[in-house]
Chains A and B, each alone.
Chain A
């Protein structure tokens, strides 16, 4: 069969949208309102505290401030010379793509042997703010579980003290030669947790937000 010829004239086609139309503007505006409503619903669901449980890289804004300032680019992960950092994956929900680390398996080595903290250098936003001296890093606070710690159970153990980058400042001995964490100096790097010989670590890094609320609770 031949192709249809001239009698088959193209139908008038509805004119194409030239540039951004009112419909798209309405869609965007309606979307903003819908997004606000969804956001309020999300807040009402009480899920806003999600970002406070993970250990973040040095210099990270505390709590949810980090979640809003981090654009999830992963440059801190690639900059880390010790391969400490990793990104949360999809299962972490809104935290997906934010950096974290597990102190027990690979702690933050505070860029020992380097002149600056590489993750902070790499961060394009203010999510990781500048820290001149690794002493000032406050990732979390080491907390000793006195019931499982060897030194508190009549066994000689100095593993955390040896692992600590600031021994006698961050971890000090009491008069019974048991380790005590000095909250003023502890960077929360997790080297002590990494060095702890116990299977379930007797010294663990707790995020600052948790430590603060629990100590406040205890004092009241």
Chain B
């Protein structure tokens, strides 16, 4: 097979912009948490369930605040303030905690990249959505309910004690290493069921999904380029298993409204036609260039990026 010439109007940079951004922010957050165990860095204390920045600004996990309210019927000002900051951020920006801050998300994301490279280079398999839907997406809402019900009856904030996110951060920050067993277990599990924790199990993610439904910062669809190639790259890559192309980028949608969308930007980075973008406002629509859904366009169902480039070249030629 000969190597095809690269696509001329391919506007993407060599690096994956959003992947880079979100790994950077998550790494910074984790690094600050780890540094806080040293006496010379007293400005970023705590773990994911409760952090304190500069000794003044409290940041409290909203699920921790809910569990605290249900379990101990108390709501100190610090909690209201700390959770309020995150809830406000989630209302405006969606579940960005999942994509950009969560330390466990960072690890599972890297885990998934390793898995993808291994499958491509070693097993020579393309990454398909395969077993992603083995666990239904609603089970994390059920888990969220279970935690609240449990806290209601027993007055124990169970998720704060046993959440893999907290266990992971505590292992790195406080040295209670036994929590890494759970994290390792999830990492192994995700080689068989990709991103099952974030997509189907994490109650904190469910909490953020509920709050971030009406967020203004979302993956929006450029009507000028949407629906042209139909390469399915976005939905093959989407860690949350959202049917981006078949559900959203065909004409008729302005943005991805699925509550699961964690704003990770993976779909934006893989899109060969710059259809998607993380934006506060919709893409400007120009009636003239809007695509006619009746026009027959090439439909590619191959996962290989080279095939996409090839057909796009053909289409543009």
- Interface code B2-34, partner A: CB below 8 Å = 1, 0 otherwise? 000000000000000000000000000000000
Q: Is A90 a contact partner of B162 (Cβ separation < 8 A)?
A: yes
User: Which residues in B have their C-beta under 8 angstroms from that of A27?
Assistant: 138-139, 141-142, 145
Contact B144 A28 (CB under 8 A): yes
The reply to whether B161 and A126 contact each other, CB–CB distance below 8 Å, is no
Contact (A20, B213) CB under 8 Å given A10-B250, A71-B160: yes
Give residues in B with beta carbon < 8 Å to A: 36-37, 45-47, 49-52, 58, 60-61, 64, 67-68, 71-72, 74, 76, 78-79, 82, 137-139, 141-158, 160-162, 166-167, 170, 173-174, 176-179, 181-182, 206, 209-210, 213, 230, 242-243, 246-248, 250, 257-259, 296-302, 307, 310-311, 314
B159 to A: closest C-beta gap in Å: 9
A97 surroundings in chain B (CB, below 8 A): 49, 160-161, 166, 170, 176
- A69:B153 contact, CB within 8 angstroms: no
In whole angstroms, what is the CA distance A121 to B41 when docked? 18
Is the C-beta of A163 less than 8 angstroms from some C-beta in chain B? no
26 contacts between A and B (CB under 8 A): A18-B258, A28-B144, A31-B142, A31-B145, A31-B146, A38-B146, A38-B153, A39-B149, A64-B155, A68-B71, A68-B155, A72-B47, A72-B170, A73-B49, A73-B64, A75-B45, A86-B174, A87-B176, A90-B181, A97-B49, A97-B160, A97-B176, A124-B58, A124-B60, A124-B78, A125-B78
A39, B138: Cα distance in complex, Å: 21
Residue pair A89, B178 in contact (C-beta under 8 Å): yes
- A118–B74 alpha-carbon span in the complex (Å): 22
Interface centre among B158, B161, B162 (most CB of A within 10 A): B161
Partner of B152, one of A36, A69, A98: A36
Chain B residue contacts of A122, Cβ below 8 A? 45, 52
Nearest Cβ on chain A to B85's Cβ, whole angstroms: 12
Pair A4/B300 contact, Cβ less than 8 Å: yes
- Residues of chain B within 8 A (CB-CB) of A124 are 46, 50, 52, 58, 60, 76, 78-79, 82
Pairs A-B, 9 closest by C-beta atoms: A31-B145, A35-B149, A39-B153, A73-B50, A89-B176, A16-B247, A13-B246, A6-B296, A35-B146
Contacting chain B: which of A40-48, A137-145, A171-179, A207-215? A40-48
Instruction: Please give, as numbers and ranges, the residues of chain A lying within 8 Å of B310 by CB-CB distance.
Output: 3
A133 within 8 A of B: no
Q: Interface range on chain A: under 10, 10 to 19, 20 to 34, or 35 or more?
A: 35 or more
Q: Is the CB of A36 within 8 A of B52?
A: no
17 new A-B contacts at CB < 8 Å, known A3-B307, A9-B299, A94-B158: A16-B257, A18-B258, A27-B139, A27-B141, A31-B145, A36-B152, A39-B153, A43-B154, A67-B155, A78-B37, A78-B45, A86-B174, A89-B178, A97-B166, A124-B58, A125-B78, A126-B76
Residues of chain A lying within 8 A (CB to CB) of residue B71:
68-69
Q: Known: A24-B138, A32-B148, A35-B150. Is A94-B299 also a contact (CB below 8 A)?
A: no
* Shortest beta-carbon distance from A70 to chain B in Å: 8
Interface positions of A from 105 to 142, Cβ below 8 Å from B = 122, 124-126
- Alpha-carbon distance between A13 and B301 when the two chains are bound, in angstroms: 14
- Distance of A9 Cα from B58 Cα, bound (Å): 53
Contact at A16–B145, with CB atoms within 8 Å? Answer: no
A71 and B170 contacting across the interface, CB-CB below 8 Å: no
Q: Across the two chains, which residue of chain B brings its CB closest to A5?
A: B298
How far does the Cβ of B69 sit from chain A's closest Cβ, in whole Å? 11
